[in-house]
Amino acid sequence: MREQPEIRPDPTVQLMDEILDDMVRGRVRVPVFQRPFVWLPDQMLALFDSIERGYPIGSLLLWQTDDDVETLPEIGGITLPPREPGTTVSLVLDGHQRLSTLFGVLRRADALQEPGDWKWRIHRDLRAPRGDDRYRHHKSEKAVPEHYLPLRAVTRTMDFLRFSRILEQQVKDVSRVEDLLREAEGVAQRIKSYKMTVIRLQGASLAQAVEVYTRLNRTGTRMDADQMISALTHRPTRAPLAAQIDDIIDAAAASGFGEVQRQAVFRSVLAISGESDVMSPRWEVVAQRMQNRLHDAIPQTAIAIGRAVEFLQGVIGVPVARLLPYAHQLLLLAIFFHHRPQPTAEQEFHLRRWFWVTSWTGAFGGITSTRLRNAISEMAAFADGAWPIAVDVEEVQPMPETFNMNSARTRAYVIWECTELPHRLNALGEPFDLKSALADAHGYRPIVNGDRRPANRLLMPTPPGVSIWRALEELDQLAWLSHEEVLRSHAITARSWRRFREGLPGVLVDDRHAYLESRLRAFADGLGVPLGRSLEGDSDDDTD
């Protein structure tokens, strides 16, 4: 492969208004491999507040090229003129969300045609005190308050004059009108005179452009690895790789499992297409080597991920995707089900054993590319009949020392607890949906303060304002159900509850801890996993 000449990015400072003018003419465009507009309304408002205050909002990375790269037909909901064949355009590699916000708000016509257009209708509250939130969306069908300056009027002289005229008609106090207009003129001047740093890549290939992008030290919404590959393999005749990965993620979410990790899906595509190094940082090399095989692997990956999700839900008992201890477990299960769509009973047992052991031993925390490559090979061999799949049972510790949902061991514990205690009752003695309760970041709440063990955490919805402590104290007031049924559903004995009410809450937590440990030992024994004297392992934050 011939080495490409080195390029040097050319940073300049340019008026924001001039950049928007180039967008109107179609000279600045967004390539189709970019992520869609995803900013939330608050992010849009914060952008304009930063501009008015003169704060930096980050540089733009534009790739100047005459290559025939497919681009989006619109930016910020505004249709662009078609690109003339052979003309040089600037493609936005970094800054799509910011430019879409600026263009869609400042250069939009007055008339709103679509229900979702309200997000582009941003106003500056001219009466807001300094330091307060000064920018507002106006979604109401009521008339816009007279002191709301529509931002589309900032860069349009006729619109600004119309705003001034309406203000004079609606506000009879001349001095107040002058104050509001003075504030409006100051806002308009600060926005129109705002300058941005623009980094232009001239004469660069697509691979070089993406390479520069990935090395930029910047904040904001980063391009994921699959979007980089989309940039390097995109063809006008087929959907971008990133969009096809979106479809796989959406299918998993539609099953009730929730969104699976994007990177795990992308790495599954790489592995199923035959790529051995799925953690490679040199995506342009991968793209050149793989090309069509990546896109051809998408349908197979979609099926494999679907089967892996079914296994996690139905066999393991993982209620929602965010509880999966390691994303690499989804990748490796996808590899297995790609090679073996229908496992034997023995294979299914060993897959269960593998899942729990890897979750209890921190097997994928900080895993290297070499270890992951070996794990992929071993899983494929196991699917093809090799026996058995290798797992290290020397240091199995299924009980986390502390309850920390950023820990794989804690997430595995929560999954196990959901399978062991599937029919829990709330503080009113009513059954509740575990998935809904788990969706609440504060679903698990402590019984007593200071004890960080999992046994001190209950997933028990209570009426608003009622603590777990108070709910336990008042359980005997249930008129239609024995309080012991509620206690049993949470692995609490009547004896320890009585000690709790006698002023010994530590006894309840200690008893529950011992009981849960005994259940964990029985569960591990059923998997043929020996446990040592201590079941507790660290629950530090860990990632794969």
Q: Are strands 89-94 and 28-29 parallel, antiparallel or unpaired?
A: parallel
Q: Measured between alpha carbons, how far is 376 from 458 in angstroms, rounded to an integer?
A: 37
Beta-carbon neighbour count of residue 203 at 10 Å?
11
φ and ψ at residue 60, rounded to 5 degrees: -105, 140
Q: In a structure prediction context, what are the per-residue pLDDT tens digits for the chain, which is 544 residues long?
A: 455 566 777 899 999 999 999 999 999 999 887 777 889 999 999 999 999 999 999 999 999 988 877 889 999 989 999 988 888 999 998 899 999 999 999 998 765 556 668 899 999 999 887 767 899 998 777 788 989 999 999 988 899 999 999 998 888 888 889 999 999 999 999 999 999 999 998 878 766 776 676 565 444 455 666 776 766 666 666 777 788 899 999 999 999 999 999 999 999 999 999 888 888 656 666 666 666 787 789 999 999 999 999 999 999 999 999 999 999 999 999 999 999 999 999 999 999 999 999 999 988 988 888 999 999 999 999 999 988 887 888 889 999 999 999 999 999 999 999 999 999 999 999 999 999 999 887 899 999 999 999 999 999 999 999 999 999 999 988 867 789 999 999 999 999 999 999 999 999 999 999 999 999 999 999 999 999 888 988 877 776 6
Tokens for 250, please give them.
């959406």
Residue 537, pLDDT score: 84
Query: Between the CA of residue 324 and those of 156, 414, 441, what are the distances in Å?
Result: 52, 10, 15
Beta-carbon neighbour count of residue 518 at 10 Å?
11
Tokens for 202, please give them.
């001239």
CB within 8 Å of 337: residues ≥ 6 apart: 303, 304, 307, 308, 311, 343, 383
What is the DSSP code string of 81-134?
A: PPPPTT--EEEEEE-HHHHHHHHHHHS--S---SGGGGGG-EEEETTPPTTS--
What is the residue whose two structure tokens read 């104290």?
A: 473
Q: Measured between alpha carbons, how far is 81 from 119 in angstroms, rounded to an integer?
A: 23
Task: Tell me the residue length of the chain.
Answer: 544
Element (H, E) at 409: helix 408-420
φ and ψ at residue 280, rounded to 5 degrees: -60, 135
Q: Measured between alpha carbons, how far is 484 from 60 in angstroms, rounded to an integer?
A: 63
Across 95-231, the runs of DSSP E, i.e. the strands, are 122-125, 135-137, 148-150, 195-202
Strand-pairing partners, residue 75, are: 78
Query: Between the CA of residue 240 and those of 103, 233, 281, 326, what are the distances in Å?
Result: 25, 8, 20, 27
Strand-pairing partners, residue 62, are: 92, 200
Considering only CA atoms, which of 223, 229, 366, 206 is closest in space to residue 295? 229
Q: Measured between alpha carbons, how far is 475 from 429 in angstroms, rounded to an integer?
A: 8
Tokens for 398, please give them.
């299924």
Strand-pairing partners, residue 149, are: 124
**ω into 73 cis (within 30 of 0):** no
Q: Measured between alpha carbons, how far is 99 from 313 in angstroms, rounded to an integer?
A: 41
Q: Angle formed by the axes of helices 206-215 and 225-233, to 10°?
A: 160
Residue 218, pLDDT score: 45
Tokens for 331, please give them.
């990748």
Beta-carbon neighbour count of residue 470 at 10 Å?
12
Map residue 210 onto helix, strand or coil.
helix
Residue 217, pLDDT score: 41
Residue 171, pLDDT score: 87
Q: Measured between alpha carbons, how far is 192 from 20 in angstroms, rounded to an integer?
A: 11
φ and ψ at residue 90, rounded to 5 degrees: -105, 115
Torsion sign over Cα 14, 17, 18, 21 = positive
Q: Measured between alpha carbons, how far is 215 from 264 in angstroms, rounded to an integer?
A: 22
Q: Measured between alpha carbons, how far is 499 from 117 in angstroms, rounded to an integer?
A: 60
Residue 207, pLDDT score: 67
Strand-pairing partners, residue 250, are: none
The counts of H helices and E strands in the chain are 20, 14
Residue 1, pLDDT score: 44
Strand-pairing partners, residue 446, are: 457
- Return the domain boundaries, the chain: 10-215, 225-383, 399-537
Q: Measured between alpha carbons, how far is 455 from 453 in angstroms, rounded to an integer?
A: 5
Please tell me what DSSP assigns to residue 427: T
Amino acid occupying residue 42: D
Cα separation of the two ends of the chain: 33
CA angle 228, 229, 230 (to 5 degrees): 90
Tokens for 19, please give them.
């950049």
